[in-house]
Amino acid sequence: MRKKYKRWNWKHRCGWELPGSTAQPIRILQVYLLPVLRRRSRPVSVYSDFFQLLCGTVVKDGVEGICRVWILWHPLILLYKYSTVEAVLRSSTNIEKAFQYDLLRPWLRDGLVTSSGNKWKTRRKLLTPSFHFRILDSFVPVFNKQSRILLKKLKLMDGKDIDITSMVTLCTLDIICETAMGVNIGAQTDSESPYAKALHKLGESFMTRLMRPWLWSDFIYNRTSLSKDFHENLLIMSQFTKKVINKRKNELLETKFQSSGDVLNFKKARYIKRSQGAFLDLLLYYHNEAKAFSEEDIQNEVDNFMFAGHDTTAAGISWTLYLIGQNEHVQEKLHEELYNIFGNDTERPITKDDVRKMSYMECVILESQRLYPSAPIIARNIKEDVYVNGKTIPVGSTCVIFIYMLHRDPEVFQNPEKFDPDRFLPENSLGRHPFSFIPFSAGPRNCIGQKFAMIEEKIVIANLLRHFRVKSPQPRDTINLVAQMVLRADQPIKIKFTSKLHAKMVKE
């Protein structure tokens, strides 16, 4: 008991010593908690106010990249400069996710996103080969196929303002289902897909709970209708993944028995070389041959890929298209790059070599991730004291890596609000600190899917720009941001797609 008190006292003393404002809890109450309790405003606008409050607090009260915020009795330490961020992310001890991630546990269980300690280390080592470049290359046809379905749908809406995020999300969902599980759920063509709906609702329920601290207690939450809905959707989702896993397992076992020569040579490399739904196949290899994964473990990891791998890329693609539609000269340069690769051929599927040639496209995607990082905030539970700029961040506190503000550090990115993809040209990136731009996080717990995401984004955007010119009618300063599971706008992002042929005729 005394030990616990001492630790509590130490944490609070350190909390008070770190830069921050004493008036801040009152602002949180005013801006966030009371409106949510009174239910007077749309939740999304309250979340947006809260996000702005956090950004404002950091600017006003933070010192040298650290800002302490009290959430009730718990100090939250916001870090937003490369020097402070590096101290936490580089550590091999401070790899445990913050307690807020525990709210995801009923969904993600002990998968890669939420696990910690030795379990996480072993899993990460086993799963890294799933993102081998050969496997990623084998996904290129899926990226092409699904982005062409999106293209066809957009062609039917030529010249109209379209809510881009919802359409792109269905496309990236189809992509992750096909690449992670080897099944096409056809979410783009069947808007009633029960799996897609359940996944979407799970995300919403999680956010609703996260933003209401009184629901963090299981005792209270389990008595609400929100929890009932959450568990109903969870059941739909897990039944679906279970079915897919069993089917694929039986298929692989059958192939194995048919060609008995393979049984003895059932090596990982062969699996990687042959697999179609590679993530699942590799997991099944670990299950069948190496006995390293139970069926439940496989399901956990598939659910984790589904969670981490589609909203993030959808946000990335949507914000990039939005920014392209706002910047005519950037769009011009992109069209030129695509013309140099494909000429006038708009139909040929994109190959892995084409992807490597899209160097300006890469700068555009990275600059979009700088301004609108899909994951604007991540958090760690501090397991070992961290010393930064002569200050101590004590064991037991929660560190928030504020990626959104980190990417706006004027000492690193001059005129930070300006959209300027040239910042990422090799000559302009020289000497930039590696922790000053981290859309995929950094250090041992960085994003395992970052190469996957970059290839996917390039192919989807390129396939659209080979056919369309894009225009974004909403100016940037009219869009408020909301940090939900990914960074979103508080209103649908509209984009007008005009087929190039049509655009040319209008010009003439």
What residues make contact with ligand HEM under the rule CB under 6 A?
97, 112-113, 124, 304-305, 308-309, 312-313, 316, 374-375, 378, 439-441, 445, 447-449, 452-453
C-alpha torsion angle, residues 95, 445, 365, 152 (rounded to 10)? -110
Q: Tell me 63's DSSP state.
A: B
Residue 33 or 245: the one with the smaller Cβ distance to ligand HEM is 245
Pick between residue 88 and residue 252 the one whose CB is nearest to ligand HEM: 88
Q: For residue 60, count other CB atoms closer than 10 A to its CB.
A: 11
Residue 15 vs 316, nearer CB to ligand HEM: 316
Q: Give the 3-state secondary structure of residue 400.
A: strand
Where do the H-state alpha helices sit in 156-224?
164-180, 194-210, 218-221
Nearer to ligand HEM (CB atom), residue 97 or residue 423: 97
The DSSP call for residue 419 is -
Minimum CB separation of residue 445 from ligand HEM in Å reads: 4
Q: Number of C-alpha atoms within 13 angstroms, CB side, residue 331?
A: 20
User: Could you tell me what percentage of the chain is helix, strand and coil, using 3-state DSSP and rounding each to the nearest 5?
Assistant: 60, 10, 30
Whole-number minimum distance, CB 429 to ligand HEM, in Å? 18
Judged by beta carbon, residue 131 or residue 266, the one nearer ligand HEM is: 131
Q: Name the residue nearer to ligand HEM (CB basis): 36 or 454.
A: 454
Element (H, E) at 398: strand 398-402
Measured from the CB of residue 454, what is the shortest distance to ligand HEM in angstroms?
8
Element (H, E) at 502: helix 500-507
Q: How far is the CB of 480 from ligand HEM (least distance, A)?
A: 20
Min dist CB 163 to ligand HEM, Å, is: 19
d(CA 47, CA 487): 11
Can you tell me the distance from the alpha carbon of 416 to that of 408, in angstroms, rounded to the nearest whole number?
A: 5
Closest to ligand HEM by CB, 28 or 168: 168
Q: Give the bridge partners for 438, in sequence order.
A: none
Q: Name the minimum Å distance from CB 39 to ligand HEM.
A: 30
Sign (positive/negative) of CA torsion 329, 331, 332, 336? positive
Nearer to ligand HEM, 49 or 301 (CB): 301
Q: What is the dihedral of CA 110, 113, 119, 120, to 10 degrees?
A: 180
Amino acid present at 272: I
In the complex, minimum distance from the CB of residue 114 to ligand HEM, in angstroms, rounded to a whole number: 8
Q: Which two tokens stand for residue 174?
A: 């189809």
Task: Choose between 36 and 379: whose C-beta lies nearer to ligand HEM.
Answer: 379
Q: Closest distance between ligand HEM and the C-beta of residue 313, in Å?
A: 5
Residue 45 C-alpha from the chain's centroid: 21
Q: How far is C-alpha 90 from the geometric centre of its chain's CA atoms?
A: 20
Q: How far is CA 45 from CA 28, 33, 212, 311, 489, in A?
A: 14, 13, 15, 20, 10
Rounded to whole angstroms, the Cα distance separating 70 from 394 reads 15
Cβ at position 282, least distance to ligand HEM in Å? 13
Q: 413 vs 452, which CB is nearer to ligand HEM? A: 452
CB of 448 to ligand HEM, least distance (A): 5
CB of 390 to ligand HEM, least distance (A): 26
| Closer residue to ligand HEM in complex, CB, 35/182 | 182
Q: Supply 504's token pair.
A: 């040319």
Burial of 406 (0-12, 13-18, 19+ CB in 10 A): buried
Q: Nearest distance from residue 174's CB to ligand HEM, in Å?
A: 13
Q: Which is nearer to ligand HEM, 67 or 448 (CB)?
A: 448
CB 200 within 8 A of CB 192: no
Which residue number places its CB atom closest to ligand HEM?
449
CB 48 within 8 A of CB 480: yes
